[in-house]
């Protein structure tokens, strides 16, 4: 079992690493610039576009989602609505939690005073464990979805 302080420090280090990764890909691919995003969970893709069409395409994995109303986090592996193929990295994160006795990575739901911050930190852990290039939060007002970006390129 991992000591609480050791886990907290590791979680914060993963968060800082994700911030750096996101700064790079958001800058390189101007992710905040594109007026539209669409994800296709069957294909495992996230596409950013403008009126002229697709501009950036990313391969994704779902980490989890936040219920704004309930104020909690739900891991992707615990949501039967998501295709298994896009939940593999969340499952790998769960296995890490099982191996190291980290309940936050094993329990289906998690809660914190700041659920969005918790969601980003858990996404950062998944990104660290699975070698993701970055992460994206699909801006849904009621149930934001947290995605890992595994690969990203400009659309051809």
User: pLDDT by residue (tens digit) across 92-126?
Assistant: 999 999 999 999 999 999 988 899 999 999 999 99
State both tokens at 128. 């660290």
Rounded to whole angstroms, the Cα distance separating 108 from 77 reads: 8
Is 152 in contact with 133 (CB distance < 8 Å)? Answer: yes
Banded model confidence at residue 81, pLDDT cuts 50, 70, 90:
very high
Query: Which secondary-structure segment (H or E) carries 30?
Result: none
Per the model's pLDDT, the better-predicted residue between 130 and 3 turns out to be: 130
Expressed as residue numbers, the domain containing 36 is 4-154
pLDDT digits (tens, 9 = 90+) for 4-63: 889 889 999 999 999 999 999 999 999 999 999 999 999 999 999 999 999 999 999 999
> Mean pLDDT throughout 73-96?
97
Domain total in the chain: 1
- pLDDT tens, residue by residue, 15-27: 999 999 999 999 9
User: pLDDT-derived band of residue 1, with 50, 70 and 90 as boundaries?
Assistant: low
Which pLDDT value is given to residue 142?
86
For residue 96, the SS3 value is helix
CB 97 within 8 A of CB 105: yes
Check whether 156 has a pLDDT greater than 90. Answer: no
CB 115 within 8 A of CB 144: no
Report the alpha-carbon distance of residue 42 to residue 99 in Å, rounded.
Answer: 29
């Amino acid at each position: 079992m991992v000591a609480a302080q050791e886990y907290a420090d590791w979680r914060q280090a993963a968060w800082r690493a994700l911030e750096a990764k996101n700064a790079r890909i958001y800058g390189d691919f101007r992710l905040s610039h594109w007026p539209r995003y669409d994800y296709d969970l069957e294909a495992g893709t996230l596409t950013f576009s403008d009126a002229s069409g697709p501009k950036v395409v990313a391969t994704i994995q779902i980490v989890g989602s936040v219920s704004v109303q309930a104020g909690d986090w739900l891991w992707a592996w615990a949501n039967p609505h998501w295709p298994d193929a896009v939940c593999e990295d969340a499952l790998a994160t769960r296995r890490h939690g099982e191996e190291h006795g980290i309940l936050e990575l094993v329990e289906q739901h998690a809660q914190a005073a700041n659920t969005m911050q918790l969601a980003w930190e858990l996404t950062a852990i998944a990104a660290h464990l699975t070698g993701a290039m970055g992460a994206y939060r699909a801006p849904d007002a009621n149930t934001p979805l947290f995605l890992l970006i595994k690969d990203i390129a400009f659309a051809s």
